[in-house]
Structure 1
């Protein structure tokens, strides 16, 4: 009995059948998780790039004009949605503001428009990065946000991608809103 048990254990220890299957079963979940993580990261980076492009393009379109009409603003906001495509535009929010500094150094919002979020109140005093504005000048401030719904929420979870872009007006000291 002991001899047959010893022989069985010796044969079992020397048997290599199924080792590959066991190794695969141990490594496969890790490899699948790595693959899904890389897919998730590449999708998030693609959305981040679209958000940055949208903020840049909007600020550039506004800064090239000296007076923005309602029709132009609607077209610019629609263009921003086209830039973010093919991603869900319902998750996309944009706020465009013209902020100026008077000769005494007080900063105030001249006008603001938004889609998917609230516009800034005219005359409100936002906090901007230091050195961005000079007395008697203005700046176009574009804030873009995208509520990213991760396809594999278990890996990264949902998060917001946000971008701010500042440009000085090119045609005049202040871009007016008509």
Structure 2
């Protein structure tokens, strides 16, 4: 009986049929993980590029006009948020702030508008650090901060394993007024 078991074991060890199936079964979880990561990374890169476009476009257009009304800035931000299509824009947060720069280089909010987020209060500190190379006393700065929480199929499926419900993406853009030194909100 022992000889027979050893003989069967020897045959099993020398039999190479089905080895590729075993290798595939061992590699399948890795292949699925790489596929999921590729899809998530591609989607995140696409959304990040669009967030950069929203931030720079909003900041640039805001800096081109010397005066704005609340409804016109709202229309601008709602229009630029359509750049996020086909992704869900309800998770998009856009904050446009015009900052006063003091002689010491300190930036405070002159006015602000928030889309799906709160606007900053007048006199509040700048939402971002203004580089000394572009800060000029008496010249306002337009700052647009964009935040987005991207939820993909795989973040939803794997949230219990990874602990992530979504990916947090953001972008910031700075502009100086193109006409004069200030951008007023009427």
- Fold match (TM-score > 0.5): yes
Look up the match of 1:100: 100
Look up the match of 2:168: 160
Once residues 8 and 109 of structure 1 are traced to their aligned partners in structure 2, the CA distance between those partners, rounded to angstroms, is: 82
Look up the match of 2:39: 39
Once residues 74 and 101 of structure 1 are traced to their aligned partners in structure 2, the CA distance between those partners, rounded to angstroms, is: 24
Look up the match of 1:142: 144
Q: What SS is found at the alignment partner of 2:171? A: strand
Q: Deviations over 1:14-59 (max 9, x none)?
A: 2122211111100111111111111111111111111111000101
Look up the match of 1:28: 28
Unaligned runs of 5+ in 1: none
Q: 1:122 to 1:19 in 2, by over 3 A?
A: same
TM-score normalised over the length of structure 2 = 0.88
TM-score normalised over the length of structure 1 = 0.91
Q: 1:7 to 1:104 in 2, by over 3 A?
A: closer
- Conservation of the 8 A alpha-carbon contact between 1:81 and 1:89: yes
Once residues 169 and 129 of structure 1 are traced to their aligned partners in structure 2, the CA distance between those partners, rounded to angstroms, is: 15
Comparing 125-134 with 65-74, which one deviates more in the overlay? 125-134
Once residues 163 and 47 of structure 2 are traced to their aligned partners in structure 1, the CA distance between those partners, rounded to angstroms, is: 15
- Conservation of the 8 A alpha-carbon contact between 1:100 and 1:133: no
* Matched pairs, number: 178
- Conservation of the 8 A alpha-carbon contact between 2:107 and 2:130: no
RMSD: 1.8
Once residues 169 and 12 of structure 1 are traced to their aligned partners in structure 2, the CA distance between those partners, rounded to angstroms, is: 79
Unaligned runs of 5+ in 2: none
